[in-house]
Each structure stands twice: as structure tokens, then as C-alpha cells.
């Protein structure tokens, strides 16, 4: 049976809070989120249009930065053609990933032994691995890797773990535990062959546009004292999310799990990943190349 249409802001918020109680891990943050939506939109008869979706999203993001609402008019589906309540993530497209070079935007050798690797996205690891491996080979002799995540909006946690492992060392180590209602999942770096991990210095460039799993990568490296972060505080979206259809034309990305870093027991939700050296993002590379000492 298909999903019913939602007509008003109150109906949409009600469906959202019902799904949050079903999907989001229980706790004080979930209750604050549900209470905020109920107190703001209960009984609201405004049409459930794009402006209402944005208004609901803005209230929700005060408690979960990763929550999104997408209005899909005229049968155009962000989440695919399925009318299933939980359509799931679409399978990765290997051809599209290849066209994006597995998320590797550039590898450049700079002066003084620096190698700049620009990661524009964290694509599905099965398709991205050849491009990541090629970047690692090109950077093998560098004294320092500068990893540019300023425009990276995240992606596959397995890819983040692979990149982290290349920078953290050959021995596998736990990065995080992800807490779902009723179970948990651990993320570890892979074991690497002797001599294949990068042993030099690491600098990571971040910005207010760095998002989701890209934030996780920067956070995991920083709290293990493996990288110096330069740039701007990131957006602060740590939750793992899942697509859920709230109506025939409304698809939501809802938090289904909370991340806990294995070292700190905490995460960057709502506060972002804070750079060691705050600097305007557009000039962060220049800062990295000229002076790594805080002012």
C-alpha cells in the first residue's frame, strides 16, 4: 500500500515525530527534538509546501544537524521511484563514481615535500578504492600530506575508515561505535601491508561546508593527534541517517544512529569539528603552506 499524502504543516510534523520515535535512538536529545516540533507545528494548517518543509527542517536541525526534508513535486523522486515507507539508499553507481574519479579531485606535489590530496567526496569504497590507492602511491614519497576536505559532504563510512587507516598506520584500530536502537556497530581501520601506510606529517583543511562522514574523518584524525586541522568549524552533523518517506511527495533523512568516537566517547554533533588553526577556508591552503604555528 502506498504512502498517504500530507496536506498541512501539522500533519507533516506529526508524521515526522512519529517516525523519529520509531527510528531515532531514545534519549534526551530525541525528546527535545520531538517536543520542539510538537510545540511549533502541532495543529498548524499551513499547506505542506517547500517553505513549510524548510521551516520544519530548521527547527529539527537545532537538535539533529543531519535531518533533511525533500519535497518532490510532480513525481520527481530524490529517493527513487518506490512508494515504500523506507525506500533505502540507492545502490552506488560505479560509472558515476568513476566519472568523479572515486571522489579524488586532485593530487598535486607542491614545494618543500608537500603533497595536496583533494577529496571532494567519500564514494562507495568498492568503486573508490583504485583511485584512493593511486593517490596513496603518488603521495608515498611526500614529507607531508595536505588532505583537503573543504568541499567534502561525506559519504561511505568504510571509505573514511580506509583513508584514516592509511594515515594512522598499518595496525587496525577502532575509530568509533555507532549506536542504533537495540544494537551497535563498530568501525575499524583496515590492516595494511607493512610499509604502505603514510608515515609523514598530515594537515587537514576543513570548512563550514565539510559535512557528515567527512567531519568524522577529520575528527578521528584530530583526536588521535595525527593531523593538524586548518580552516573553519564544520557543520556538526554526526548522526547516521536513513531515507524515510513521510508522504507521497516528502522524503526525509532521519537520524537512526549516534556516533561515539572510540577515543573520546563523544562526537561533533551540533558543535562541529573545530580546527586547531582557525582561518578563512578559502585561504586555508596558503596558511598551511606558510606557517603552521597558531598566531
Q: State residue 76's pLDDT score.
A: 43
Q: State residue 89's pLDDT score.
A: 86
The structure's pTM equals 0.92
Question: How many beta carbons lie within 10 A of that of residue 230, not counting itself?
Answer: 26
Q: State residue 5's pLDDT score.
A: 85
Beta strand 228-231 pairing with 240-247: unpaired
Q: Which of 72, 58, 89 is CA-nearest to residue 251? A: 72
Whole-number Å distance between alpha carbons of 287 and 150: 14
Q: State residue 3's pLDDT score.
A: 64
Q: State residue 228's pLDDT score.
A: 97
User: Which residues of the chain have a pLDDT value below 70?
Assistant: 1-3, 73-84, 291-295
Q: Count of alpha carbons within 13 Å of 147, Cβ hemisphere only?
A: 31
Whole-number Å distance between alpha carbons of 150 and 269: 18
Q: Is 262 helix (H, G, I), strand (E, B) or coil?
A: coil
Q: Which of 200, 56, 181 is CA-nearest to residue 142? A: 200
Amino acid at each position: 500500500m502506498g504512502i498517504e499524502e500530507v496536506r498541512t504543516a501539522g500533519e507533516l510534523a506529526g508524521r515526522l515525530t512519529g517516525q523519529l520515535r520509531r527510528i531515532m535512538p531514545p534519549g534526551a536529545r530525541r525528546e527535545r527534538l520531538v517536543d520542539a516540533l510538537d510545540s511549533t507545528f502541532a495543529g498548524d494548517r499551513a499547506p505542506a509546501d517547500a517553505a513549510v518543509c524548510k521551516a520544519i527542517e530548521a527547527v529539527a536541525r537545532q537538535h539533529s544537524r543531519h535531518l533533511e526534508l525533500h519535497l518532490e513535486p510532480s513525481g520527481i523522486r530524490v529517493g527513487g521511484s518506490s512508494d515504500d515507507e523506507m525506500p533505502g539508499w540507492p545502490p552506488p553507481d560505479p560509472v558515476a563514481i568513476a566519472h568523479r574519479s572515486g571522489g579524488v579531485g586532485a593530487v598535486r606535489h607542491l614545494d618543500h615535500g608537500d603533497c595536496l590530496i583533494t577529496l571532494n567526496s567519500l564514494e562507495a569504497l568498492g568503486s573508490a578504492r583504485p583511485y584512493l590507492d593511486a593517490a596513496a602511491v603518488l603521495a608515498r614519497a611526500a614529507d607531508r600530506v595536505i588532505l583537503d576536505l573543504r568541499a567534502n559532504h561525506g559519504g561511505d563510512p568504510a571509505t573514511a575508515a580506509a583513508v584514516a587507516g592509511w594515515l594512522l598506520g598499518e595496525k587496525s584500530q577502532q575509530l568509533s561505535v555507532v549506536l542504533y536502537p537495540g544494537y551497535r556497530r563498530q568501525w575499524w581501520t583496515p590492516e595494511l601491508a607493512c610499509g604502505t601506510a603514510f608515515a609523514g606529517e598530515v594537515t587537514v583543511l576543513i570548512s563550514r561546508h565539510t559535512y557528515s562522514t567527512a567531519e568524522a574523518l577529520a575528527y578521528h584524525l584530530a583526536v588521535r593527534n595525527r593531523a593538524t586541522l586548518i580552516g573553519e568549524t564544520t557543520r556538526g552533523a554526526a548522526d547516521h541517517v536513513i531515507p524515510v518517506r513521510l508522504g507521497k511527495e516528502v522524503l526525509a533523512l532521519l537520524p537512526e544512529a549516534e556516533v561515539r568516537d572510540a577515543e573520546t566517547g563523544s562526537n561533533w554533533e551540533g558543535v562541529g569539528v573545530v580546527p586547531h588553526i582557525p582561518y578563512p577556508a578559502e585561504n586555508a591552503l596558503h596558511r598551511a603552506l606558510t606557517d603552521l604555528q597558531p598566531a
